[in-house]
Structure 1
Amino acid sequence: MIESEFFSLVILPLLIFTARVLDVSMATIRTIFVVRGIKFLAAFIGFFEILIWLLAIGQIMANLTDPINYIAYAGGFATGSYVGIVLEDRLAIGDLLIRVLTTDKADEMSNKLYRKGYKVTKIPATSNGDKIEILYIHIKRKELEEIIKTIKKHDPKSLYTVHDIREASDEKTIEMEQKRYHRRIFDYLRRGK
């Protein structure tokens, strides 16, 4: 009797919570893969996401009288959302375009970034009658922090915006990068074991 109560009050809610954390984390990653056009991994993850969800909801339906299971289910959903976002940030999948508006440091900044191997386009422009330069920098998401530090170091007064790139005309480069990201994801998952 005590074992049965321990299972229904502790073990089962923990299992439901863990299952929800897993399936919602997977749903978050899968959604990001869908948006980024990584079809195979999105489908692969979707299969396991739904399998885990079915197991969790099955336990809820079999134990409708225990309110702690509802709390575990909802808590797992909330935690899974957070974990999924953290995982996505760590994987840093995709490309970004950074647009920098600067007044007088454009040459120095673009030369520094170009020497570091970044694709930089510099365009003269005007803003409220003042001459400015606009830099467009195409980077991988994992490089964002380094680029922001470089921008702030060379021109702390510059304005920058960051944009996701879903598709670019250099398809060969994008395909190679997607394959590299797929390998990174599997390596990341393998390290967890």
Structure 2
Amino acid sequence: MSFIPEPIFSWVVLPLLIFFARIADVTIGTMRIVFVARGQKLIAPLLGFFEVLIWLIALTKIMQNLGNPVTYFAYGAGFAMGNFIGITLEARLAFGMCIIRTITRQDAHDVVEKLRDEGYGVTVIDANGNFGKVSVFYSVVKRSHIDHFVGIIKSYNPKAFYTIEDVRVVNEGFYPKRSSLRRRPLRKGK
């Protein structure tokens, strides 16, 4: 870099390049892990290739500049920021499916009907909990619909117990399109 003076390149530009390279490779790595967990056999290896390629370039630059402690800091800070950005990006993309399991001691008929009216498929089971009879209902939901689904549950029973788990494979089912979800206030009985 002849147009940038050597001290500025070594102490400012190079650490910034390493910082952004680490952000890129760790973000890609986070997404790769998500794709591996979902069994995406084509995209996961491709992301892995670019993840490792970027990592090797960043590590090579550090090894060539062992006397520059700022590059170490940039490497660590880029790793931390890459984790943050990767997790944030994965949450925003919200691709895939999840299963929402809800357990309530209240009668679940109204909330189940509301969920079905909104286009969700719901399976209901009567069960016994520690304190007597409960209703358990399950639904496989697109991850992008979680907030809407949980909002309906909370509007009917704020104390309902629910869990959300990722689903790797779904075979058949009923899943509303986002446009079919009506955007109206969530009020009981409305």
Smaller-chain TM-score range? 0.7 to 0.9
CA distance in structure 2 between the aligned counterparts of 1:50 and 1:129, rounded to whole angstroms: 53
Identify which of 53, 56, 59 aligns with 2:61.
Answer: 59
Identify which of 75, 78, 82 aligns with 1:76.
Answer: 78
Offset, 1:73: 0.6
C-alpha RMSD over aligned residues: 1.9
Offset, 1:168: 3.1
1:165 aligns with 2:167: yes
Q: Segments of 4+ in structure 1 off by > 4 A?
A: none
SS state at 2:124 partner = strand
Offset, 1:29: 0.5
Identify which of 103, 116, 123 aligns with 2:118.
Answer: 116
- Aligned pair in 2 of structure 1 residues 173, 98: CA closer, same or farther (>3 Å)? closer
Q: Higher helix proportion, which one? A: 1
Identify which of 85, 90, 93 aligns with 1:91.
Answer: 93
SS state at 1:119 partner = coil
Question: What corresponds to 1:25 in structure 2?
Answer: 27
The one-character-per-residue Cα deviations of 1:39-66 (angstroms, maximum 9, x if unpaired) are 2111111111111111111111111110
CA distance in structure 2 between the aligned counterparts of 1:156 and 1:47, rounded to whole angstroms: 46
Contact 2:120 2:174 in 1 (8 A): no
CA distance in structure 1 between the aligned counterparts of 2:174 and 2:114, rounded to whole angstroms: 23
Question: What corresponds to 1:185 in structure 2?
Answer: none
How high is the TM-score relative to the length of structure 2?
0.85
The one-character-per-residue Cα deviations of 1:143-179 (angstroms, maximum 9, x if unpaired) are 1111111000011121111111112343x999xxxxx
SS state at 2:66 partner = coil
CA distance in structure 1 between the aligned counterparts of 2:71 and 2:100, rounded to whole angstroms: 45
Aligned sequence identity (%): 44
CA distance in structure 2 between the aligned counterparts of 1:151 and 1:48, rounded to whole angstroms: 41
Q: How many residues align?
A: 173
- Aligned pair in 2 of structure 1 residues 90, 129: CA closer, same or farther (>3 Å)? closer
Contact 1:99 1:134 in 2 (8 A): yes
Give the counterpart letter for 1:18 in structure 2. F
Question: What corresponds to 1:127 in structure 2?
Answer: 129
CA distance in structure 2 between the aligned counterparts of 1:6 and 1:26, rounded to whole angstroms: 29
SS state at 1:93 partner = coil
SS state at 2:164 partner = strand
Question: What corresponds to 2:184 in structure 1?
Answer: none
CA distance in structure 2 between the aligned counterparts of 1:69 and 1:128, rounded to whole angstroms: 56
The one-character-per-residue Cα deviations of 1:85-111 (angstroms, maximum 9, x if unpaired) are 011101112211111112333111111
Give the counterpart letter for 1:112 in structure 2. K
Contact 1:105 1:154 in 2 (8 A): no
